[in-house]
Amino acid sequence: MLFSPGWRAPVRQGEVLAVFTLGLLAGGALSATVIWLLSGLAEPLPERVRTAAIVLVAALGVARELGWLAIPLPQNARQIPQEVLQFRLRRGSLQFGFEMGTGVRTYVSASSPYVLALGLLLSHQGPVACVLAGVAFGGGRALSSALTFWARDPDRDAAIGARMPWITGTTAVTVLAALSSLLLL
């Protein structure tokens, strides 16, 4: 459990959320910086090849989200150890957030982050665009935790679960449209 048990805890829940969010944003920024650095390796490929690869991967991502294709996504099946949050809550929340924000420590069930990462890698965007995308990824993950914290509604997860196919499908189509518009510029 990320949040402390209540008012008697030595660390307030809002503080834990803030530190966790900082870790998520930093982790997303780091991953995006690595993507930007690696994007230089794709620059020698002809632009038409890179564009075709981006559109193909985006279309595969949309097909996966709509349930037309069963494509397994890369994942790190290990969980973050309980000790990370049990003994040093602030530092553990920062570490947990950072690892989750990188996107390589935990499972990312949606195709869109992978499509976006590959799109950034192949389109060779500037460092600011890449870092902003990484921070947005971390911010999206932080938003989920913040909404859980603010809602304090036990039925929230069931309501989100019922909408998840619509949410992921819409997100995938949006990423495809955004990448296509970037490529047309």
Confidence of residue 7 (pLDDT cuts 50, 70, 90): very low
Q: Which pTM does this prediction carry?
A: 0.75
Give, in order, the Cα–Cα distances in Å from 174 to each of 11, 48, 178.
39, 22, 6
| 1 band by pLDDT with thresholds 50, 70 and 90 | very low
Q: What's the pLDDT score for residue 122?
A: 94
Task: State percent of the chain over pLDDT 90.
Answer: 29
For the ranges 32-46, 71-85, 133-147, 152-166, the one whose mean pLDDT is highest: 32-46
Continuous H helices in the chain:
13-42, 47-65, 83-86, 89-102, 112-123, 127-151, 156-184
Paired tokens of 73:
């996504």
What is the structure's pLDDT at 129?
Answer: 92
The greatest distance separating any two alpha carbons of the chain, rounded to the nearest whole angstrom, comes to 60
Looking at per-residue pLDDT, the higher value among 16 and 127 belongs to 127
Spatial separation of the C-alpha atoms in residues 155 and 162, rounded to whole Å: 11
User: Which of the two residues, 131 and 83, has the higher pLDDT score?
Assistant: 131
| pLDDT tens digits, 37-69 | 999 999 899 999 998 999 899 889 888 988 889
Residue 134 to residue 124: CA distance in whole angstroms: 14
Judged against a pLDDT cut of 50, whether residue 177 lies above it is answered with yes
Write the pLDDT tens digit of every residue in 138-157.
998 888 888 777 776 666 66
Where in the chain are the domains? Answer: 13-184
Would you say 178 and 115 are in contact if contact means Cβ atoms under 8 Å apart?
no
The residue that leads in pLDDT, 92 or 10, is 92
